[in-house]
Structure 1
Amino acid sequence: MALKPVHYRVVGQDDYMLDIRVEASGAYRIDCGDHSSHKPRRGQLTVAEQARLQALIEALGEPCEHPAPEGASGFVAELRVGSAPDVGSYRFWEGALEQAPDLHALVRALEVI
């Protein structure tokens, strides 16, 4: 089975931003920033990395939202999986990841690319 495209975006405090895109081919691009600008990183996932990522994608539950509780601060993220017209969208506050182990596993795998 081919890798489903993934787009993971986090916006946080103090101009922090992380944007990870993985294409169906396994090519990826990572943009991140804070008080300084960083050049985008590009690369190609190995076949094993693609297979691991696809297994984590397949383990995801239904698209859902995990909003931040009132008064909470921190990072809000969105994960989009698939391509049009079949795209699953997950919006969540990073503090809620412990409540969604399937989502947590995929997010952490993306963050270590």
Structure 2
Amino acid sequence: LGLSLRDVATETDVSASTLSRIENGTGKPDADNIARLTSWLDVPMERILGGRHSQSESSKAVVYYPQEPTPEIVEAHLRADRNLTPETAAALSELFRVAYTQFSRNDVDKTSKKKR
């Protein structure tokens, strides 16, 4: 997104110091801050809290909702991948978004309707 912690703090009403602790894994947000952040991110709270079960890292379920666009789901997976830097995840996400937009059935349907 290209925002600083201060920018996010201003937009979410969550302090920059709290955001920093969350980002660094040294602090846990309270319920109010989770609600503010999930609302700002436009992500269902269940998606954030869904992985709290005592499952191993490799067996955690991936939660997504049918109304979420595929590019958003892919972007979330890429951002969560610990093998990718944030910059690489963002670049791959943008590549996928462009390809998906170009090749999705919605575009195919629009193109075929125009040819008729």
TM range (shorter): under 0.3
Q: TM-score, normalised by structure 2?
A: 0.21
Name the structure, 1 or 2, with higher relative contact order (CA <8 Å, separation 6+).
1
Q: TM-score, normalised by structure 1?
A: 0.21
Higher strand share: 1
Larger Rg: 2
